């Protein structure tokens, strides 16, 4: 076993490491600490100890979150470069992610912790008071490493909890840098970053110290987290995957909506939880919409996120690259036609041509499952009620969008879409 050489606010530095791969080359470019159970115990212990004081002084917590925002903002270039290197998105978007993180830290620093009186009459008095619970175990995915880390630790710390945070093994570096930058911003033990492979996540959910697990990731892992949390009835928040449909109504103009639909589906190379994963369009508008989307897909500049003139970076991980390749190949084998793309790019790294698929319908894997990548099926429909039923029938929730020239009509249809 390796000894933790340092745990504080808190990065566990270990002798053992694991590889971090640059998705633009497919090559190992860095190492990250591979924490074992003893490192995790030390982080949990530090967080539990820090909680005793951290929970007491709300104004200190707000001040610290503001200093955290300033500290991160001052290191925008360094953090953005790490995000691009480990996750692949263009540097411009990575800088935006850092700015977003800074904005959310400021938001949480000022967020009111409201007390709500729900009853105050002769029969009784009842008030909702928001109190911290202790240590939060936070587990994040790879698609937006920095903002997802901030969304986890900032509200938890504001409320008076302390945090042990694990980034994805695919994208540990920006979060480790965050831990280093904030080491002196929060008192020791308040924010602890542990990096390691997937079993570290499972050890966190089984650990007796946390009172709550905050998890963002896939549905499959979310089910394991919920089962682990059930053993000792830990509180749990699960932010999981989706198969977000865009429903185009018969009064929408394909030429006017294509640009926003394309951005809504292909931002971050299709690797955001809420991006559009499938488009349903009436038969009459189908050809025009496919043509307009394909034009944009063909025009999108795909390349290393470190290059200046890039719109879309690589797919972030090898397993995700393999999954997108497999789902597109399956659709093509079942009669789909690629109006754009349809294949991996012939170059090193995990690059996939932005893909628009037509001639597909429900029952094909890329329509029924979350693809989480730069490939979009466009599906025809005839009857609005029937298509709403189709999009509502699957196992996924999360988001849906409705596209119409008439906002009131779009809102009425949106009210019938299932998002949970």
User: Which residues contact ligand NAD by CB under 6 A?
Assistant: 139-143, 166, 168-169, 198, 201-202, 205, 216-218, 221, 224-225, 239-242, 273, 370, 372, 398
CA 87 centroid distance within chain = 12
Q: Which of 49, 239, 291, 295 is catalytic?
A: 239
Examine the residue annotation and report whether 206 is marked as an active-site residue of this protein: no
Please, what is the Cα angle at 217 between 216 and 218, to 5 degrees? 145
Q: To the nearest whole angstrom, how small is the minimum distance from the Cβ of residue 335 to ligand NAD?
A: 27
Strands 124-128, 191-193: parallel, antiparallel or unpaired by DSSP?
unpaired
Q: To the nearest whole angstrom, how small is the minimum distance from the Cβ of residue 307 to ligand NAD?
A: 25
Q: Say if residues 9 and 189 touch (Cβ distance below 8 Å).
A: yes
Q: To the nearest whole angstrom, how small is the minimum distance from the Cβ of residue 199 to ligand NAD?
A: 7
Q: Which is nearer to ligand NAD, 192 or 358 (CB)?
A: 192
- 3-state secondary structure at position 358: strand
Q: Which is nearer to ligand NAD, 11 or 281 (CB)?
A: 11
CA dist list (Å): 168 to 142, 201, 210, 279:
5, 9, 19, 30
The total of other beta-carbon atoms located within 10 Å of residue 138's CB is: 28
**CB nearest ligand NAD: which residue?**
201
Q: Say if residues 261 and 246 touch (Cβ distance below 8 Å).
A: yes
Q: Which is nearer to ligand NAD, 175 or 380 (CB)?
A: 175
Q: Which is nearer to ligand NAD, 87 or 304 (CB)?
A: 87
Q: Say if residues 239 and 263 touch (Cβ distance below 8 Å).
A: no
Q: To the nearest whole angstrom, how small is the minimum distance from the Cβ of residue 111 to ligand NAD?
A: 19
The total of other beta-carbon atoms located within 10 Å of residue 173's CB is: 22
C-alpha–C-alpha distance, residues 286 and 356, integer Å: 12
Q: Which is nearer to ligand NAD, 219 or 345 (CB)?
A: 219
Q: To the nearest whole angstrom, how small is the minimum distance from the Cβ of residue 213 to ligand NAD?
A: 8
C-alpha dihedral (224, 228, 234, 236), degrees to nearest 10: 0
CA dist list (Å): 128 to 113, 115, 122, 133, 327:
10, 6, 18, 15, 48
CA dist list (Å): 76 to 101, 306, 310, 414:
10, 15, 19, 38
Q: To the nearest whole angstrom, how small is the minimum distance from the Cβ of residue 219 to ligand NAD?
A: 6
DSSP 103: H
Strands 27-33, 17-22: parallel, antiparallel or unpaired by DSSP?
antiparallel
C-alpha–C-alpha distance, residues 212 and 135, integer Å: 7
Q: Which is nearer to ligand NAD, 35 or 158 (CB)?
A: 35
Q: Which is nearer to ligand NAD, 188 or 397 (CB)?
A: 397
Q: To the nearest whole angstrom, how small is the minimum distance from the Cβ of residue 81 to ligand NAD?
A: 21
Which active-site residues does the annotation give? 239
């Amino acid at each position: 076993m390796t000894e933790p050489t340092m745990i504080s606010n808190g990065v566990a530095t270990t002798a053992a490491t694991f590889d971090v791969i640059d998705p633009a080359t497919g090559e190992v470019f860095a190492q990250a600490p591979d924490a074992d159970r003893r490192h995790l115990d030390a982080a949990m212990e530090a967080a539990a100890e820090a909680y005793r004081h951290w929970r007491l002084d709300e104004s200190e917590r707000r001040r610290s979150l503001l200093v955290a925002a300033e500290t991160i903002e001052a290191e925008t270039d360094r953090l953005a470069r790490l995000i691009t290197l480990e996750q692949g998105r263009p540097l411009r978007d990575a800088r935006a992610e850092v700015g977003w993180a800074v904005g959310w830290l400021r938001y949480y620093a000022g967020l009111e912790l409201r007390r709500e009186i729900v009853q105050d009459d002769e029969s009784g008095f009842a008030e909702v008071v928001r109190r911290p619970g202790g240590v939060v175990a936070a587990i994040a995915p790879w698609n937006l490493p920095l903002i997802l880390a901030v969304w986890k630790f900032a509200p938890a710390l504001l409320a008076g909890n302390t945090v042990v945070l694990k980034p994805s093994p695919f994208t540990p570096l920006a979060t480790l840098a965050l831990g280093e930058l904030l080491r002196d911003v929060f008192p020791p033990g308040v924010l602890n970053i542990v990096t390691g492979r997937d079993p570290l996540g499972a050890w966190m959910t089984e650990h007796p110290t946390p009172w709550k697990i905050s998890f963002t990731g896939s549905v499959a892992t979310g089910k394991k987290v919920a089962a682990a949390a059930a053993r000792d009835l830990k509180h749990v928040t699960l932010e999981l995957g989706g198969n977000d449909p865009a429903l185009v109504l018969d009064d929408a103009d394909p030429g006017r909506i294509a640009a926003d639909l394309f951005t809504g589906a292909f931002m971050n190379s299709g690797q955001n939880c809420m991006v559009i994963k499938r488009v349903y369009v009436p038969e009459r508008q189908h050809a025009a919409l496919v043509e307009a989307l394909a034009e944009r897909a063909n025009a999108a500049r795909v390349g290393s996120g470190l290059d200046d003139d890039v719109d879309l970076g690589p797919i972030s991980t090898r397993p995700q690259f393999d999954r997108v390749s497999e789902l597109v190949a399956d659709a093509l084998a079942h009669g789909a036609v690629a109006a754009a793309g349809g294949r991996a790019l012939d170059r090193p790294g995990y690059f996939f041509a932005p893909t628009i698929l037509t001639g597909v319908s429900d029952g094909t894997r890329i329509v029924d499952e979350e693809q989480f990548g730069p490939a979009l099926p466009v599906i025809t429909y005839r009857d609005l009620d029937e298509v709403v039923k189709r999009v509502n029938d699957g196992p996924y929730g999360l988001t849906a969008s409705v596209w119409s020239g008439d906002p009131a009509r779009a809102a009425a249809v949106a009210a019938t879409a299932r998002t949970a």
